[in-house]
Structure 1
Amino acid sequence: SVKLLNCVSVQIPRLQTRYVSGDVARKVFNNECKRLHKEKVATLDDVTLYEYLKIEAAALVTDRVSDVKKSSPLALDLGCGRGYISQELSEFDGIDLLFQGDTSQSYLNNPCQPKLTTHSVNFNEESLPFRTDTFDMVLSSMSLHWVNDLPKCFKEVLRILKPDGCFIGMMIGADSLFELRCSLQLAEVEREGGMAPHISPMIQGHQLANLLYNAGFKLVTLDFDQLVVNYPSMFEVMYDLKGMAENNCGVNIKPLNRDTILAASGIYEAMYGNSDDKTVPCTYQMLFMIGWKSHESQQKPLDPG
């Protein structure tokens, strides 16, 4: 069962912050490991049973496309997966051709049925193989939270956008999977005397706003939805994450032993179990971003005072 909480939308003012340059960004994720995760699940006969979160995210991203009151003949779906965005878009959204790009060739070879003309390209999100000022719009849904160098990725997106082009994206936020994270940490401390990260690090909303502004985007707007999904137990949570290729791919992964996992399941039910004593909730925070490439026609902020 799925429960969608209230959506909060706010236009973020520009903040002066310091961020590590993309040239010296630390590698957190193993890109090849994540590619293999995608390759493994892409050809499953029942892949759509696991990708309910990606389907919901694609629908919410394309809902924001309809709010853009200008046509975007050429668009890019960055980290397209099986192409759920192409399944939600139509000719009424003003897109004539949608390029779909992903690191997994198997995903590109087994797409869902699109409603518009598409073209597939295999590439890495941190190095986009397109010329400057190519696309009218860039979309992304549930892929950027696996990118090691987000500043570089956002600068690449800005580069390939035409002036007054729009970037609409969605990432999993820092409040996601907090039930699973806390349960694993408590169980590992209890059974093994210490803990290691088993849930990938995720970004917070204010950090995302700063990265977009520092990359050069204008008129940045953020909003978020919180999706709560009920599962029979913690094991189904972990099983579904693996089925949608969202399992951990950190560069240094410490395996969990059987006793720790069983203890974590009991802690999960005791701390977060629903009142029906039959299900446990799992929270997914979905961060949505909209940014524009600079153009003289855009509104400008007033001078101070």
Structure 2
Amino acid sequence: MADPITVFDRQILKLRRDRAATKAQDYNFLFAETAERLADRLDDTTRKFPLAVDLGCHSGELGRIIGKRGGIETFYQSDISARYAQSAHASNGKATLVADEEFLPFAEGSLDLILSNLSLHWVNDLPGMLLQARRALKPDGLLLACMLGGDTLRDLREALMTAEAEEEGGVSPRVSPFVDVKDAGALLQRSGFALPVVDADDITIDYPDALKLMRDLSGMGESNLIAKRSKKFTKRSTLARAAAIYHERHARADGRIHAKFQVIYLTAWAPDESQPKPLRRGSGQVSLVDFLGDDAKKQ
């Protein structure tokens, strides 16, 4: 009987990343953009993080730009794909290791900073992985990550499902159960993190057609990984029909299309006594009436 937590096929993820590593520079534009945004967010904290790890490093985009930001002295890169890890080391010279995000190989309380750039959306047991990350961090250590959210490529997924129903007489699982913004904060709290902050933004990329978008997703190793997906190759007629549906529903006047990637950012800290804490309920020393004046009396 299959493990009910196994939603994504991690073995296929590894194989696809191995393949993507051979042409990483042709398809890593999205990873490079979100790496820049993560690094900018690290600039927003005044803390220093001597020992940092990048989980799911792809071809080393984050390692290339991170430099000494955040007071980083030692920076390790890890990926489930050995070829991606090798590619990352070749691109920036930083130390790498092969590791699965679902089974973190770090000692308890050993890390100052855990980063992750567009990898956690393929983790089956995200609460369990976040718990491992929190344990691996030193007190007051920081988790800073981004992942794809549920609004990512919604138009493409709808077009593919419609085309598959028309061309093949049925629909195979294609919609990944990505985390949404409102649930991400709860997951961080449930995993024992303090001071969680979750926000999201959209990255919109212009394409000549949906076929080019699908080729880019394949090149990035980011196509469908649902374990119960159809194991047959999608028919060319289905892909062509999906591209036509996408164009019919969403093309601009010039015939081009937009593809939207929703990126969710997670910022949270390993608990520490030095962190600010809410006051005990009822311990306030200032009357709300005194603070608001006559406006409070009218309520």
TM-score w.r.t. the length of structure 1 is: 0.87
**How far does the alpha carbon of each residue in 1:281-304 deviate from its partner, in whole angstroms, 9 at most, with x for none?**
111000001000111110112333
1:13-32 to 2 correspondence within 5 Å? 26-32=5-11
Which has the larger displacement, 197-206 or 47-56? 197-206
**Cα distance in structure 2, aligned partners of 1:113 and 1:267:** 39
Cα distance, 1:93 vs structure 2: 2.8
Higher relative contact order (CA 8 A, sep 6+): 1
* Aligned length, in residue pairs: 277
Please report how far the alpha carbon of residue 91 of structure 1 lies from its aligned counterpart in structure 2 after TM superposition: 2.0
Q: 1:188 Cα shift?
A: 2.3
Does 1:181 pair with 2:160?
A: no
Q: 2:237 aligns with which of 252, 259, 269?
A: 259
The CA RMSD over aligned residues, in Å, is 1.5
Which is helix-richer, 1 or 2?
2
What is the match of residue 107 of structure 2? 131
5+ unaligned residues in a row in structure 1: which ranges? 1-23
Instruction: Letter of the 1:49 partner, please give it.
Output: D
Counterparts of 2:189 and 2:69 in 1: how far apart (Å)?
30
> Does the 8 Å contact 1:173/1:205 carry over to 2?
yes
Deviation at 1:253, TM superposition (A): 2.0
Instruction: Extract unaligned runs of 5+ from structure 2.
Output: 283-299
1:230–1:280 Cα contact (<8 Å) kept: yes
Correspondence for 1:75 among 52, 55, 73: 52
In structure 2, the residue matched to 1:243 is: 219
Q: Secondary structure at the match of 2:91?
A: coil
Q: Give runs of aligned pairs for residues 1-305 of structure 1, distance below 5 A.
A: 26-44=5-23, 47-111=24-88, 113-114=91-92, 118-254=94-230, 255=232, 256-277=234-255, 279-305=256-282
SS at match of 1:99: strand
Q: Distance in 1 between matches of 2:161 and 2:18?
A: 29
TM-score, with normalisation over the residues of structure 2?
A: 0.89
Distance 1:110 1:192, change over 3 A: closer
Letter in structure 2 aligned against 1:266: A
User: What percent identity do the matched residue pairs reach?
Assistant: 35
Q: Which one-letter code corresponds to 1:27 in the other structure? A: T
d(CA) in 1 for partners of 2:143, 2:7 = 25
Deviates more, 1:213-222 or 1:257-266: 257-266
Residue of structure 2 in register with 1:15 after alignment:
none
The offset of 1:257, in angstroms, is: 2.2
Q: Deviations over 1:29-83 (max 9, x none)?
A: 1111110001112122xx2121100000111111111111111000111111111
Work out whether residues 25 and 148 of structure 1, in 8 Å CA contact, stay in contact via their aligned partners in 2.
no
Larger radius of gyration: 2
Q: How far has the Cα of 1:154 moved from its partner?
A: 0.2
| Mapped partners of 1:225, 1:180: distance in 2 | 19
1:92 Cα offset (Å): 4.2
In the aligned structure 2, how far is the partner of 1:121 from the partner of 1:92?
Answer: 21
* Whole-angstrom distance in 2 between the partners of 1:159 and 1:184: 40
Q: 1:266, 1:206 → 2: CA distance? A: 34
Shift of 1:199: 4.2
Q: Offset of 1:248 from its aligned partner?
A: 1.4
